[in-house]
Amino acid sequence: MKQLIHAYHMAEAINWPTIQRDGLHSASALLDIAGISGWERERLEKRQRLTHTELPNGVQIRDQRPMPPAALEKCLIGLTPNEWYALINTRIFFWLDPERLNRHRAACKARPQVVLTVDANRLISAYAERISLTPINTGNARRLPAKRGAATFVPYASWEASSWASEAASLGTPLRSRSHAPVELTITSSIPNIMQFVLDIQELAPNQPFILPSS
């Protein structure tokens, strides 16, 4: 299996001052911080977010347009679409491939973004117990989506020991090759000290793509 060296997180530029001060947080953690509860919490956390949303404290969370519930119903195993949204919202996501990051960046269109290049080895050492890897883009369910469920998030220790075996065993899907590279690295809840792991910061103007930093 290929060693993980760098991971890439893309955030809304408007959130950058808060990230520098307080670290990275999952959508669910951001809802906690903003004091969102009741039906509004249910709508933002367990339903598809169709629009980019600004919370009362000024922090923004992205839409989930690539995950319509009708599409999820066709590919989810053991979870409802609402449960999938809730699961996704508990995690902070890092891309492991700059090309995939730039596809995501293109989907954000004219909104300025910030991309953090992170030392994956040091991040894993600090947060291994809360890290899972995925073999697919879990945020997209369009166009022949791959089967998915809770086991799509493979704990880092399980991935090191047996690659994607736990995913196949739990979901009843074909076993992926050990050479199948992870697509996402995810960490549950919060990373308050994220800046300790950052190697490069790129502030992207509207429609500007991410450029891999020179080593």
What is the tens place of the pLDDT at every residue in 19-48? Answer: 999 999 999 999 999 999 999 999 999 999
Mean pLDDT, each 10-residue run in order, the chain (215 residues): 87 97 98 97 97 96 96 97 98 97 90 97 97 97 94 97 97 96 98 98 94 79
Hey, how many other C-beta atoms are within 10 angstroms of the C-beta on 159? Answer: 22
pLDDT at 149: 98
Walk across the sheet containing 91-95 and list its strands.
Answer: 154-155, 131-134, 184-188, 91-95, 6-12, 113-119, 198-204
pLDDT at 72: 98
Buried b (16+ CB within 10 A) or exposed e, 2-23: eebebbbbbbbbebbebbeeeb
Q: How far apart are CA 148 and CA 185, in angstroms?
A: 16
CB 184 within 8 A of CB 133: yes
pLDDT at 29: 98
Instruction: Quote the DSSP letter at residue 151.
Output: G
Q: How far apart are CA 123 and CA 140, in angstroms?
A: 25
27 closest CA partner among 173, 204, 188, 170: 188
pLDDT at 90: 98
Enumerate the H helices of 35-183 as residue ranges: 38-46, 69-75, 81-89, 98-107, 120-127, 156-162, 165-171
pLDDT at 215: 57
CB 179 within 8 A of CB 198: no
